[in-house]
Each structure stands twice: as C-alpha cells, then as structure tokens.
Amino acid sequence: MTEIIICPVCKSELKRFTISHVKSQKHQKALKVSGISPENDPSLKYLKKVKETKTAKALGEFKNRLDRLEELVEILKINQEEIMKNVNTRSAITLEKPIRKKMIYKKEDILYAINRCVQNNTNESKWVMVDDIFKILNLNNEDERKEVNKTIIKLFNKNIIDLAEGGNPVHPIVYQNKIFGMIAIQ
C-alpha cells in the first residue's frame, strides 16, 4: 500500500510529491491566499527529501557499478598477464628451434609438372619454361629449387628429359657452364 502525502499548503492528497504539483495552479493559488512566498514554501522540504532519496539511490547504484568495473579490470589484468606469459614462452620456443619440413621432390613430381605445363599451353609445344615448373611445384625457397635442379639434371643425364637454352628464366638451371631455361619430356 502506498503512502499518501498531504500537501501542507493546498491540502491535496498525493501519492508522490513532484515539482509539477508545486507549479500547479491550485498550489500557487493556495500560496497566495495564505501569504507565503514561493521561496518559503513548506512543501519544498518534501521535494528535497525526494531529491535526496533519488540522489542517494543513484549514488548507491553508481558505487555498485564502479565496484563491478574495478573487479572486471582486475580480472582483465590477470588474463592479460597470463596471455603475455604464454606469448613469451611460445615465442622463446619458436625462436630457439625453427622447425622446417624439407620437401622431397621425386622424378614423378617433376614429370607431372612438365605435363601440366604442356596442357596449360594447350599442347602447342612440348617445351615449357623452368619457372613454370617451379610454380606448379610451389617452390618457395632456394634450397628447394636446388634440390629440384639436381633431380632435373639427373633426369637429363638419363635422357628422360631435354633441356634447352632460352626462355629468360628467373631461376635458370645451370649445368656444364650452360644456362637452361626450357625443359621438355623426350
């Protein structure tokens, strides 16, 4: 059950005492009739109580929210420290021993790459560029290209493939003081 407030000036029964009641025509007339100035209105003490109650409530809620925020910041700091520890230990491990898997390219891989290049050229010529072979084999570093070059030279010595000069290669095959840039299956 709500408490009913009786206005000391106009004797109105109110559930809540608000500024709109103080500014109402009925209240203002009652002030004039009783000869009370608006600054000395006795009903203003009810407004102050309402304001104080609202302010206290708002401050309490603000304090609770601030406390919760401080707790969250502490939790974030702890989590950040854990993350940084993990990052530092992992980076130390990766800096100590970089693990690289060495790719081994077989004769079949190179012959497959040559055939793919010939098909990409729509079978116009059996000669393909060495750089195209490297692209199909997805060779990314110099060590892998050297290994493939050795295998290509072995295939050339066994007369499985032919090498030809030209093609302006970025990564040519150098064998017996000659620079080869084109390759074909015999």
pLDDT given at position 94: 54
Closest CA to 134 of 103, 159, 165: 103
pTM for the model stands at 0.44
Q: Which residues of 95-122 are buried (b: 16+ CB within 10 A; e: fewer)?
A: eeeeeeeeeebeeebbeebbebbbeeee
Confidence of residue 186 (pLDDT cuts 50, 70, 90): confident
pLDDT given at position 70: 92
C-alpha distances (whole Å) from 49 to each of 1, 8, 30, 53, 172 are 20, 15, 22, 6, 92
Counting residues of the chain whose pLDDT is more than 90, the rounded percentage is 3
Q: Which residue has the tokens 């100590």?
A: 96
In tens, the pLDDT along 110-157 reads 888 888 888 887 778 888 888 888 888 887 778 888 888 888 889 889
- Helical packing angle, 107-120 and 142-157, nearest 10°: 90
Q: Residue ranges per domain, the chain? A: 5-96, 107-185
Q: Which residues make Cβ contacts (< 8 Å) with residue 156, sequence separation at least 6?
A: 162, 163, 175
